[in-house]
């Protein structure tokens, strides 16, 4: 329960930090996009104001003869809707077509043009400028804040034909439309961030669960392995303790001998169990392949057949093989591990095949996979139930616990087999039926065929 709570807490923490990170990235991206749009709109407005200001300057300045006076007739033709002074007036229809096209933009809502003298008094205007206008006597921009909103205004100095200062031309534009667009963008972005928070939270929870699953599985395996190892060690240790306690009451060496033999057997069992545990731990760590050499499977399998032939004969088993002399099937690996891999399966076949049964070992190159060597070990033993076949390669798993213990098994044999096969980039499979026997098939990649 504690481990489950720990993993649940870890998953929640991972999901939280994932959600926080993604929201931070989205927020930074949204803010950058907002600032970029704001900058682009500002640049576009500035460029347009400067272009219009230049047009006004080039159109009006050649007409200026005296300071503070504007030739109204000619200017009215250039600027539709021009009003003299601060009086309200309607747009004039007396304008030439070309100038309507180039200067008619001032008729658009939000734009204004104002001509002022050197003292700042209004001489003429197009559209109504902000009430608290500001004068700028350089070719730069200023932003004006009023109760009607914000404006961007550019000013330029005008000179008469004689070169004296006439006054100033000011071109401005209301920023209300631009600010409304940016405000809508801000609200849309905030709404999107809040909506994405819930979506990212769900995705983060799912991804955190998937990422932590292998760790949880490894932890569960470690817990199971620790419990199984403790259980396996407990039995011989209990027997040893009992034998030692009984030895205190023995008075003669002859009576002590059975206890010493029992202690010797249990000590050997402990030693064998610890050796297997260390081996499987080393294999599962996938240590570097420093000791790998070329191995001829023909020779290894043939040696094992000769080694186990006498044991099979003593148990009245029909022990046969099908090992070709040619071609030589060469793999690269650890010779001792390959030897233990095959011998563990042969030993199990002999152990679980009743008297009068048969065992056959076959070595061949893959028929459809010539780059693989295939080792098949078939017996007519007790067989393995379908429900147990997926578990027989687990550590300490026994199909028949009582029989395995009585025959000296530790429950690590097939786990070691699986680890060795995996370490050599191979595969192992089993086909078995209860009462009919089992067939183990091992495939290993060949280094070369000669």
Q: What are phi and psi of 124, to 5 degrees?
A: -160, 160
CB 171 within 8 A of CB 154: yes
Structure tokens, 36: 């970029």
Torsion-angle region of 411 (φ positive above 0: left; ψ -120 to 50: alpha; else: beta):
left
Q: What are phi and psi of 349, to 5 degrees?
A: -60, -45
Per-residue pLDDT tens over the stretch 216-262: 777 777 777 777 677 667 777 887 888 887 787 777 777 788 878 88
| Pick from 94-98, 110-114, 293-297, 325-329: least confident | 94-98
In 89-140, which ranges are E strands?
111-117, 122-126
Element (H, E) at 331: strand 329-333
Cα 249 to Cα 262: distance, rounded to the nearest angstrom: 16
* CATH placement of domain 64-174: 3.30.450
Cα 273 to Cα 21: distance, rounded to the nearest angstrom: 48
Cα 174 to Cα 162: distance, rounded to the nearest angstrom: 35
More confident residue, 216 or 313: 313
Per-residue pLDDT tens over the stretch 174-202: 888 889 999 999 999 899 888 888 888 88
Per-residue pLDDT tens over the stretch 122-166: 888 888 777 655 554 455 778 888 877 888 888 888 888 888 888
CB 71 within 8 A of CB 84: no
Residue span(s) of the chain under CATH 3.30.565.10 come to 288-449
Q: Whose structure tokens read 């600010």?
A: 179
Pick the CATH number of 288-449 from 2.40.30.10, 1.20.1250.20, 3.30.565.10, 3.30.9.10: 3.30.565.10
pLDDT at residue number 78: 66
Q: Does the reported pTM lie above 0.75?
A: no
pLDDT at residue number 249: 76
Give me the percent of the chain exceeding a pLDDT of 90. Answer: 22
pLDDT at 58 over 50: yes
Q: Whose structure tokens read 């809502």?
A: 109
Residue span(s) of the chain under CATH 3.30.450 come to 64-174
């Amino acid at each position: 329960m504690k481990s489950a709570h720990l993993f649940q807490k870890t998953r929640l923490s991972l999901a939280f930090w994932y959600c926080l990170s993604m929201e931070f990235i989205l927020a930074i991206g949204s803010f950058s996009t907002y600032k970029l749009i704001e900058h682009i709109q500002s640049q576009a407005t500035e460029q347009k104001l400067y272009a219009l200001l230049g047009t006004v300057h080039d159109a009006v300045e050649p007409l200026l003869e005296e300071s503070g006076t504007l030739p109204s007739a000619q200017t009215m033709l250039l600027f539709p809707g021009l009003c003299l002074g601060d009086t309200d007036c309607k747009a004039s229809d007396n304008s030439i077509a070309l100038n309507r096209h180039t200067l008619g933009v001032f008729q658009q809502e939000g734009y204004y043009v104002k001509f002022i003298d050197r003292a700042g008094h209004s001489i003429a205007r197009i559209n109504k400028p902000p009430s608290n206008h500001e004068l700028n006597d350089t070719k730069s921009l200023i932003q004006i804040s009023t109760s009607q909103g914000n404006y961007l205004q550019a000013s330029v100095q005008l000179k008469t034909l004689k070169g004296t200062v006439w006054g100033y031309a000011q071109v401005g534009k209301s920023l209300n439309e631009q600010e409304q667009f940016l405000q809508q963008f801000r609200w849309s972005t905030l709404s999107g961030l809040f909506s994405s928070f819930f979506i990212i939270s769900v995705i983060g929870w799912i991804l955190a669960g998937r990422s932590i699953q292998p760790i949880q599985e490894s932890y569960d395996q470690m817990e199971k392995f620790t419990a199984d190892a403790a259980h396996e060690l407990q039995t011989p240790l209990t027997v040893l303790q009992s034998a030692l306690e009984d030895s205190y009451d023995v008075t003669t060496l002859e009576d002590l001998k059975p206890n010493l033999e029992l202690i010797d057997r249990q000590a050997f069992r402990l030693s064998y169990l610890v050796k297997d545990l260390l081996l499987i731990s080393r294999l599962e760590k996938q240590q570097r392949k420093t000791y790998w050499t070329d191995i001829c499977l023909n020779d290894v399998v043939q040696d094992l057949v000769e080694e186990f032939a006498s044991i099979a004969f003593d148990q009245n088993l029909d022990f046969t093989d099908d090992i070709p002399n040619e071609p030589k099937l060469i793999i690269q690996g650890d010779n001792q591990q390959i030897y233990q891999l095959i011998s563990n399966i042969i030993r199990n076949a002999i152990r679980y095949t009743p008297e009068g049964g048969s065992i056959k070992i076959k070595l061949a190159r893959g028929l459809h996979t010539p780059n693989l060597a295939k080792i098949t070990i078939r017996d007519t033993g007790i067989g393995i139930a379908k429900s147990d076949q997926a578990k027989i390669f687990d550590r300490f798993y026994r199909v028949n616990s009582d029989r395995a213990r009585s025959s000296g098994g530790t429950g690590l044999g097939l786990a070691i087999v699986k680890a060795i096969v995996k370490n050599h980039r191979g595969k192992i499979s089993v086909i078995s039926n209860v009462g009919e026997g089992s067939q183990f098939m091992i495939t290993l990649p060949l280094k070369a065929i000669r």
